[in-house]
Amino acid sequence: MVILLVVAACGGSGADTTEPSQFPTGSVRSWFDSLEADDMDTAQQLTYQESMLIVLAAENAMPTEELATLLRRGATEESAARYLAGFSDALRARYGGSLAAITVDGFTQLGGNYAAVAVTGDGAATIIARKSSDGLWQVDLVGTLGPALISQIGDLLDAAGADSDGATVRDAYRINVVPALEAAAAHDPENFALAAEIREILSVLGS
Alpha helices for the chain (secondary structure H): 24-36, 40-45, 49-59, 64-73, 77-95, 141-145, 150-159, 164-172, 178-187, 192-205
The predicted-structure confidence for 98-140, as pLDDT tens digits, reads as follows 888 888 989 999 988 999 999 987 777 899 999 988 889 999 9
Lowest mean pLDDT among 18-22, 66-70, 125-129, 192-196: 18-22
Per-residue pLDDT at 54 exceeds 80: yes
The secondary structure of 79-127, three-state, reads: HHHHHHHHHHHHHHHHHCCCHHHCEEEEEEEECCCEEEEEEEECEEEEE
Confidence at residue 21, expressed as pLDDT on a 0 to 100 scale = 54
In sequence order, the 6+-apart residues with CB closer than 8 A to the CB of 185 are 191, 194, 195, 198
The predicted-structure confidence for 29-40, as pLDDT tens digits, reads as follows 999 999 999 999
Confidence at residue 43, expressed as pLDDT on a 0 to 100 scale = 93
CA 129 to chain centre: 7
Confidence at residue 18, expressed as pLDDT on a 0 to 100 scale = 45
The share of the chain scoring above pLDDT 90, in percent, equals 71
pTM of the model: 0.86
Higher local confidence (pLDDT), 92 or 203: 203
Confidence at residue 102, expressed as pLDDT on a 0 to 100 scale = 87
Confidence at residue 98, expressed as pLDDT on a 0 to 100 scale = 81
Average pLDDT, integer, range 193-204: 95
Answer for the pair 158, 170: CB distance below 8 angstroms, yes or no.
no
The predicted-structure confidence for 141-177, as pLDDT tens digits, reads as follows 999 999 999 999 999 999 999 999 999 999 999 999 9
The predicted-structure confidence for 2-52, as pLDDT tens digits, reads as follows 333 333 333 333 344 444 557 899 999 999 999 999 999 999 999 999 999
